[in-house]
Structure 1
């Protein structure tokens, strides 16, 4: 049985971010720090996190500022801040994981010792996928010793059917300098989310998925994608760890080709690009065996880099039934 814990993480500027952990039955073989996408939150990933936990991979996720339960008053919806703030939030959450592990490791001399016994991976979906790739490739921050980074359906380039025109992008960038916190509703068709219509309908009806960004946040999102879509992203920097990128070929939100081309450019010796033929944007909910294959691919890739075997994912340990072990008061929207 997969047990969950809820809590809060306070970032350096004092903002509190909602967190949730999907715990393993016994000691974790690995820990995944997960970053969700635009107009999403960490409780909207169905059985993906419990499935990883059933394979011995603990998942620790948070709702980004401006999203999910991290929004405690309506006026903060979509207030994600600049790219520097987004990167700082990810770095703070990730650092807290290393500190918690170091404090438990008997050989660690202090909570600041980053080398821990349990391998840590960083993973993101959609906007979050673009963010984790940008974080390790171009944030300028001191990246902790991650065992690997994973991104699926990442925002590198939008699909041509949803991509705004050049003039609209230019006008948005100009307006963002004058009115960075101006809210902007950006809605997508729920039919583009997943071939399982229930998933798209859940997303459309979820009050935590409010589709509201700010000019500053949206421009930052596109700027990060532009950088990832450039030759600069292919130059190996300080992060030399493993990279896994997955994308559905029929995704009409974020462009499949953008992910494939980035994977080709990356100079990292341990890199994997996985195509999911005919799959839409939310691979974790895709029918016809895709969501199961996706979870198996992710778990196998992680376990292989922990000294395990990909075949270990064929027989998960325990059930994926979820129970809440600790629950804070819910955010009121």
Structure 2
């Protein structure tokens, strides 16, 4: 590096000292990850807790049908949310014989180290562990994974890691609701640079996002309730956003790994995850979007598809897909997705 060249030492030693001090400051201000647990091989599922491989206790909830379930769903919530995101969906699916389980991911809800990013490698490891434990509890029942936004990105990153870890994701299929795939590759340069700079200078700084004027759903009463919920994070650390972006990078690069039955959901009115990276993922699926990998586009859908005003339409589609993955969706949203790709995305910009 020129910063340490002999000419610099002779001509301007002050710059050398300043540069070394700056590098030290940036190293000291690196994005922070939540601490790991201190117990190995302690994984377990209890009625209200999921004990991870490193001994952390994550809150665990369930919505169970009467009698033996015909299918199992493990739900992963979105960014700054927690397992309560599956209260409505889980109750809905339970009426059809489907059991739903969900846990607060590291750093969210009442999980340890709330507000700190857990690291997506640990989050994907937690997913693999939870699926393994659920499979052991329900060995002869189809097991599916539903990931919402950030949760969808965790699922996609876990699928991408299968080769590296040697551990397959033990699920019969995945449902990804508006998965967070807004990777750095699809961001303008100034956004990438600004995020890096802030994350490496003031990683502890937080923001509310209220000035972004982004609407996540048309279900305004639900949004107001989330605003009052103390377990929904309102002030987000910059290094948590940085960690989320790392996760989205992994998710964006994972479509070739989606070789198991997959249902990808997206709302035309989504203001959180842009259409362009979503379209890229759809176009990169190894078997296209109308076979064992299926995409669904909802004309009146927002980002929070499972809690929008038309949530029942989406939940019915998910139920139908779980029961028969190769059949057309009741809403016809899969046909909308096919048309959107044929029109190269212009369907999403029509007024």
1:29 matched to 2:51? The reply is no
| 1:214-293 alignment, distance < 5 Å | 214-230=237-253, 233-236=254-257, 240-268=259-287, 270-287=292-309, 290-293=310-313
Q: Distance in 2 between matches of 1:211 and 1:165?
A: 26
1:302 matched to 2:322? The reply is yes
Change (3 A) 1:90 1:178: farther
Deviation readout 1:142-162 (Å, 9 max, x if unpaired): 12432101110111128xxxx
Shift of 1:6: 5.0
Which structure is higher in RCO with an 8 Å CA cutoff and minimum separation 6?
1
Q: Distance in 2 between matches of 1:131 and 1:42?
A: 15
Check the 8 A contact 1:248/1:283 in 2, yes or no: yes
Which residue of structure 1 aligns with residue 84 of structure 2? 43
| Of 292-301 and 219-228, the range deviating more from structure 2 | 219-228
Deviation readout 1:173-204 (Å, 9 max, x if unpaired): 35646776x35334356861211211111122
TM-score, with normalisation over the residues of structure 1? 0.74
Check the 8 A contact 2:86/2:102 in 1, yes or no: no
Check the 8 A contact 1:234/1:266 in 2, yes or no: yes
Shift of 1:20: 0.2
1:55 matched to 2:92? The reply is no
Which residue of structure 1 aligns with residue 170 of structure 2? 145
Check the 8 A contact 1:234/1:265 in 2, yes or no: yes
Check the 8 A contact 1:246/1:275 in 2, yes or no: yes
Change (3 A) 1:219 1:20: same
- Number of paired residues? 277
5+ long unaligned stretches in structure 2: 1-45, 331-351
1:185 to 207, 213, 216: 207
Change (3 A) 1:303 1:192: same
SS in 2 for 1:284: coil
Check the 8 A contact 1:250/1:256 in 2, yes or no: no
Shift of 1:85: 1.5
Check the 8 A contact 2:76/2:148 in 1, yes or no: yes
